[in-house]
Structure 1
Amino acid sequence: MLFGEQYRSLWNELEAERDHTKALEAEVERLKTDIKNRRLDSQALRRDIRILARKLKGLKDPEREELLNRIAELEIRVKVLENENAKLEQQASRGYVSFPRPSFSAAVESRMEAEEAETEGEAEVSRNKQE
């Protein structure tokens, strides 16, 4: 394989790893945005619960029962959002941990080492011929 072909091959593999890294970074950003939006939803639901609780104090029994049911529904939604947020945060943190570093793959490194050894062998043979 010629040097230009080797270089092109290595360059293509490096570009593929860069593209993969960019895709992972975009996924982590998407997860962060998702987490932020869900936190805002959770805060809005908690605010709704507080407002309903204040209204509840001045209402009669039938209306009161309806608001209590609504509060229970909202609390369930808050818990679901919190669980989903925890899962998203785990995915985002795993994304950081498993981020590939821009480096050559093991196959490329072993190929480069083999070519290096081959080049050294050829240099040694040519030195022996000159002697």
Structure 2
Amino acid sequence: MLAAVESAQAGMAFREDSHFYATKAIPPIRRAYRELGRRLVLAGVLEEPDEIHHLRFEELESITDNDDGALPASLRDRLRPLVLARAAKRRELEGIPLLDPALLFGRGHPGRQMEGVLVSGTAASRSQATGRFV
């Protein structure tokens, strides 16, 4: 029994340490995104710095400036409509729960589909598999 308790304690310590190190980079990354958002507001791509979250990483990676440091108009004209469309879609979906809260908190019936949710069903695995379905 003592070995099981010690094993559980070691597992919890590993879990806490791994969460600490895995999330340690989040604050500086958020600050960097916020600064990039601020700069894209100045360039006319965004209206608010937080709109940066409507752009994909690959789109942010593709941002280059002219020799004078200005953002090319073609890039601004390509990114601004993407931000507006994604913001509109987010507003459209913001009132719809991603998962059925009754099932999430154990008050529902697994397998019964609730109307108005984006994802329904009973989870069978935390894993993911890819392959050919026959």
Same fold (TM over 0.5): no
- Which structure has the larger Rg over C-alpha atoms? 1
TM-score, L = length of structure 1: 0.32
Select the structure that is richer in helix. 1
TM-score, normalized by length of structure 2?
Answer: 0.31
The structure with higher relative contact order (CA 8 Å, sep 6+) is 1
